[in-house]
Amino acid sequence: MLTSSATTETIKFFVKWVRDTSPSVQPVVIMTDCDQVQIAVLKSVFPQSWILFCLWHVLHAMRSHFVMTEFQGLWEKIKIWVKTEDIAKFYNI
């Protein structure tokens, strides 16, 4: 979703519009970044859906909170935990 106004009302309007214009579509999985407003709206509009976080955003958040050179062992374990061959090539990890 692209918007210059990421307010709860704007996001709710958009997600409800998607649901109402495609009532036969019931997403099983929805991927998002870690935006709490988006997550809350998605849970309220699609309560049966699983909300997953984008891998790039998860790894980016981890990198921003740890100095990887000081926690190399932890970083290696994290990469093993989340990495597949395709993802590793795409994200250069």
36-92 pLDDT, tens per residue? 888 999 999 999 998 888 777 777 777 787 777 888 888 788 777 776 555 555 555
In the block, residue with structure tokens 């309560």: 47
More confident: 81 or 27: 27
Residue 12 binned pLDDT confidence (cut-offs 50, 70, 90) = very high
Q: The whole model's pTM is what?
A: 0.63
Neighbouring residues of 30: CB distance < 8 A, sequence distance ≥ 6: 42, 46, 49, 50, 51, 52
